[in-house]
Amino acid sequence: MASGVGLVDGKSALVTGGASGIGRATALALAREGARVLVADVDGAGAEAVAKAIAEQGGRARAVRSDVSDPADVAAMVGAAVDAFGRLDCAVNGAGVIGTPGLLHELSLDTWQRTLAVNLTGVFLCMQQELRVMRAQGSGAIVNVSSGGGAIGTPALAHYGASKHGVLGLTKTAALENARSGVRVNAICPGSTDTPMLAGFMGSSEAARKMILASAPSGRLGRPEEVAEAAVWLCSDRASYVSGESLFVDYAAVSR
């Protein structure tokens, strides 16, 4: 792999949503810093491509197709990580969707339920399985990907905001419950980041892009690699006394 400083050298890691965007950048960064990585995504071919990229750079990785809203898929995914690497030291729960925008009184129940199934229930199901393994080991670090939208309200995104607010609540509860188990649980809250998901949300609307950029004091979108660095640090022993934190990776945080 390209040179790193070995922040997670020798650790076994799992990344959901690893086929693209922040998840992909995180899987690559973990591998660069010495971890063996299981790349998981509902896009199985995309996950395979990321695992191949890691291997081509000299790292160790496996891939699995997994729908985080399906309890059986999640159990199999975590089992695959343990089978592949013998243990599970780090997990980054990054799978997520935005959902079709809509004002609250017009929002369809299907959109609401699907968004929460992936973004919130998916994190719940992943943490359940990950915690069972890590608690038995007596060590581990979990990083849940929330959002800047997990701390504020955003018009037409009630479903997304509710799900990401919920992730922060789950994170803090799990951190407290595991404070003496050797397992740390944190969240990262990315601001507007240049990912395929955000591009899909903006579509071809120049007005939407200008609105999003106007909300960023830096005048630019974040890069997935910048968010990944925060996730890797929280997975590492450098963050050994950090748990229950919601870390904003977002220039806009300076204006809150």
Instruction: Return the pLDDT at 254.
Output: 52
First to last CA, the chain: 38
Instruction: Return the pLDDT at 208.
Output: 63
Tally of domains within the chain: 1
Does residue 253 sit within a domain? Answer: no
Does residue 136 sit within a domain? Answer: yes
pLDDT tens sequence for the chain (256 residues): 556 889 999 999 999 999 999 999 999 999 999 999 999 999 999 999 999 999 999 999 999 999 999 999 999 999 999 999 999 999 999 999 999 999 999 999 999 999 999 999 999 999 999 999 999 999 999 999 999 889 988 888 999 999 999 999 999 999 999 999 999 999 999 987 777 776 776 665 676 666 666 666 777 777 999 999 999 999 999 999 999 999 999 866 554 5
Q: Which residue among 160, 201, 233, 248 is the active-site one?
A: 160
Q: Return d(Cα 18, Cα 200) in angstroms, integer.
A: 17
Instruction: Return the pLDDT at 201.
Output: 67
In single-letter form, the type of residue at position 79 comes to G
Give 203-238 as a DSSP string: TT-HHHHHHHHHT-TTSSPBPHHHHHHHHHHHHSGG
Does residue 227 sit within a domain? Answer: yes
Does residue 1 sit within a domain? Answer: no
Residue 160 a catalytic site member:
yes
Instruction: Return the pLDDT at 147.
Output: 92
Does residue 88 sit within a domain? Answer: yes
> If 0-12 CB within 10 Å is exposed, 13-18 middle and 19+ buried, where does residue 240 land?
exposed
Helical H runs in the chain? Answer: 21-32, 44-56, 71-85, 109-116, 122-137, 158-177, 196-202, 206-214, 224-235
Q: Provide the residue range defining the domain that includes 112.
A: 12-248
Does residue 120 sit within a domain? Answer: yes
- Tokens representing residue 36 in the block: 């063996």
Does residue 6 sit within a domain? Answer: no
- Tokens representing residue 130 in the block: 């990950």
Does residue 4 sit within a domain? Answer: no
Instruction: Return the pLDDT at 247.
Output: 96
Determine contact, residues 95/124, Cβ cutoff 8 Å: no
User: Which CATH number goes with the domain that contains 92?
Assistant: 3.40.50.720
Q: Return d(Cα 121, Cα 107) in angstroms, integer.
A: 19
Determine contact, residues 235/13, Cβ cutoff 8 Å: yes
